[in-house]
Structure formats: C-alpha cells, structure tokens
Amino acid sequence: MMNNKPFPALYEQIIDLIEPYQVYLVGGAVRDLHLGKPIHDLDFALPVDTIPAAKLVADQLGGAFFVLDPERETARVILKDENDQRMMVDFTLFQGKDIKADLGTRDFTITSMALATGPDAKVIDPYGGVQDLKDGLLRATTEQSLADDPLRCLRAVRLAAQFGLRILPETKDQIRKYGSGITGISPERIRDELFRILDGPKQAAAFQALEILGLSPYVFFEEVTDQHIKELAFLEELWALFLKEHDQDSAANWSLGLLIHRLGRYRGDLQTYLKGEPVPGRTIYQLSFIAPLLENGKDKDIKSDTPSILPLSNQEWEILIQSKQAAEVVLQYSKSEDNPRPLDIYRYYRQYKSAGIMGVFLALASVSSEYKGSSHQDGWITILDKCRSFLEGWWEKKDQWISPPILLNGDDLQSEFSISPGPRIGSLLESLREAQVERGISSRGEAVQFLTDLVEGSIEISE
C-alpha cells in the first residue's frame, strides 16, 4: 500500500518550491512508492518550464544544476540528502500533449505511472501498473516502447530480476522481435545497463534470461551456457554470504558452508576488495560476474574475442584477463597433490597482482559443481585449503610472501659487485626478493652474502 514514508526528507522542500508549476512525480519513484521501498532519486515531468524549475530547486537548496538535453529541456539537480548521500532530481518535459500521453511513451507499465504533486496527490495509472505490481508481472507499456528504444529489452531483464517479476509472454515476444536493435545503440549505454544487471540481485537468473530471450549475442560473443550459469550462481550466493554478516550455517549447502568456515576470516578484506572501483561507479564485484562468461585467458586474447559493444577501461580488461589466467593457475594446484609454496604464491601475485584474488574464487566457481555430494567433502576441503594459502599470502603475510622489504637496490649492486647498469641488475634483485620469501633473508648482510654466492655460482635458485 502506498504511503509517504519512503520519501526522502528533501521531497517536501522540493514540492514547496515547485508548487507554482504543474508537476508530476514519475518513473521508478512512483513504482517504489507502491512497493514501500525507500526512494533515493526523484523524476519530475512538467508541461513547460523544466529548466527554470530545476534551476530554482538548485539555487534554493544548494544543489548542482545541469542541463542534460537542451532540445528536450531536460535538467538535473544533484543534492545531498539527510544522510549526506548524493540524490539526483531530474526534470523532464512532457513527451506528448499531457501527462497521460507522456506515460504512454515510457517503457513498462510499472514505471508508466505518475503522482500529482498538488493537494490531492492522486495516482495516474492509465496502463495498469499498480495491478501489474500486485500480480508480479512485467509488461511493456506498448509494443512501440521497445521498438523506440531496444535497450529497454535489457532493462526488462534487470527489472524482472530486481523485483521478482514474470515477463509476460507477449512482452517476451516483443523483446525477441526488437532485441537486435541493440546493435544500433551506443556501446556505452549497453555497458551501463549491463552493469546495473551485474549489480544484482539474481545475476545468474538474469543472464539465463538474456540467453533465452536471444539477447546475449548483443552483449557477449559467446552464448551463456549451463556451466556459466552454475558459476554465476555460485558467485552470487558466495558474495551474498561474504558481503553480509552470515555464518556458515546460513549457507544453502554444505560446500558453501565449508567455504565460509575455511575462508570466512577474510570476510572484511574481501568486502573491501569487492567494493573497489577500477573506474568510478563500476566495481570489482560487478566485474566478477563478467569473468566466468569470457574465454579462459590461458592461450587466448580475451579482449579480442569479446565484442566491442562492451567498452571497458584498460584497467578493467587487465583485471579480467589476469583473473582468468590466475584461475587457471589455481586450478592446476587443485588437481595436483602439491601445495603452493610461499615462493609459488609470491610468483603468482607478482604476475597477477590483486586480480589473483578474483582468480582464486573464479577457480572455486569453475569446480564447485564437481563437489556436490558429501562423498566429495575431503576433496573440497583440500581445494579450499590450497585457496586459503593464496589468500593468506595476500592478506596476512604480504610483507613476507608478496612484498618483502627492499634490502638492496640497483646502486648497491653496482658498488658491491662492480656490475654495470643493465638487465642483470634487475634479474639479481628479483632473485634476492625470491630468496627473501623462500630462505627468510631479512638483513642487508644476508642479502649481500646471498648475492655473492649467487654471482660466484656456489648456490642455485629455485625453479
């Protein structure tokens, strides 16, 4: 039932300021109001004077003001709410002669509703959005809405996952009909909608829907297979457990319960890692759901095999490529009787850097379906313990195993051993770092002695 509780505190102040205008609250805010969900951002539709109304709100409430589209008279105000969080308030011109005509141009019935902001504050719902919300249905407002903007086909998948809605058969048919139009949309818009899907919830179900509806070729080069879905579902549940204060008893199966028991000590560290943003607004958490869908990085150039409609930064590509390659290394240990040595872990992170963290969990996701029965418990524990060694190196023994202190530099080698500048200095310093990890060398004197023995050929270094 609709009530005023979800409104942000600034709502009434904004309404008081724009009272002289004929203003309607539209879009997702009205939907969330009916669902009783908190409202963070506001969208207002006006027949005229959108830019003056937005400018007034910005000036009076100390917000930032932007004209997004001069031709369509669309403006945005960015404010800080009562929790000092950023709040976006958009002002758009009617797309049509009145509010009902405007609502007819919107994507789905659940967002084709408006709330008059006058004293009556009545809901305008010409397409049955309220009833569709009650029935848990997602319906295109009109067939033309998907034809006009095929990106709405991707948005349908996101909304269905986000709100637990069933896409109606006729809307599915329309998505299949107009989905190919996604190829005519800017890659940046596709990427941004994809990352909203990656933010969850129900990423695995969403990607399964993309495949069923024939949309995955417009986002990824390869099809979304059953194995992909299994890996995505594993990561989805795993991250839910790590990102919330669950104990292992809350895991849905014994394998995840054991994982939390073995690796749960890194919960806080992993939370920080997943929230990291290689690019502002796009997180490691979101990238982790792209990685399983890409080719393995062992012998292929992932980037060249992925369509250009996924424009990521160089840093994001580096993380994806390195994490896939790192997962292959971890998988080799999972199939071997050998445990990773500190030197192996040093070399692992030297090559893959922090992407090696994601590599550990991608490896677990890829083999998780092989360890479903309790008869596989011992094997799963063995793999988890090997993975724990990699995480221990990064989060607990970084100074010993990953980044040992610098004992000598290139100038020291030139003066101590009369070595000319060149590649050999770098090679000797790397041998010293490995010896610090493997042999526990911890002082300048020990470092000089080690390199003396190495230069003279009296010792051998590990392969």
Between 222 and 259, the higher pLDDT residue: 259
Mean pLDDT of all residues in the chain? 89
pLDDT of 415 > 80? The answer is: yes
Contact in structure between 235 and 288 (CB atoms under 8 Å): yes
Q: How is domain 136-219 classified at the CATH fold level? A: Hydrophobic Seed Protein (1.10.110)
- List where CATH 1.10.110.30 sits in the chain: 136-219
- List where CATH 3.30.460.10 sits in the chain: 1-135
What pLDDT is attached to residue 200? 86
**Contacts by 269-274, CB closer than 8 A, 24 or more apart:** 269/395, 270/242, 270/357, 271/242, 271/243, 273/354, 273/357, 274/239, 274/242, 274/243
Outline where DSSP puts E strands in 335-422: none
Radius of gyration from C-alpha coordinates of the chain: 28
For the stretch 259-288, pLDDT in tens is: 998 999 999 999 999 999 999 999 999 999
What pLDDT is attached to residue 246? 52
* Beta strand 114-116 pairing with 123-124: antiparallel
Query: Six-digit token pair at 14?
Result: 């904004």
Rounded CA-CA distance 380/192 in Å is 37
What pLDDT is attached to residue 83? 80
Rounded CA-CA distance 369/381 in Å is 14
One of 3.40.630.30, 3.30.460.10, 3.30.1280.10, 3.40.50.300 is the CATH number of 1-135, namely 3.30.460.10
Predicted TM-score (pTM) of the model is 0.88
Query: Six-digit token pair at 371?
Result: 């360890």
Classify residue 281 by burial, with Cβ atoms within 10 Å: 0-12, 13-18, 19+: exposed
Rounded CA-CA distance 355/367 in Å is 19
For the stretch 54-112, pLDDT in tens is: 999 999 999 999 999 998 899 999 998 888 888 999 999 999 899 999 999 999 999 99
DSSP letters of 184-223? GS-HHHHHHHHHHHHTSS-HHHHHHHHHHTT-GGGT-SS-
What pLDDT is attached to residue 296? 60
Nearest alpha carbon to residue 394 among 451, 355, 448: 355
Classify residue 440 by burial, with Cβ atoms within 10 Å: 0-12, 13-18, 19+: exposed
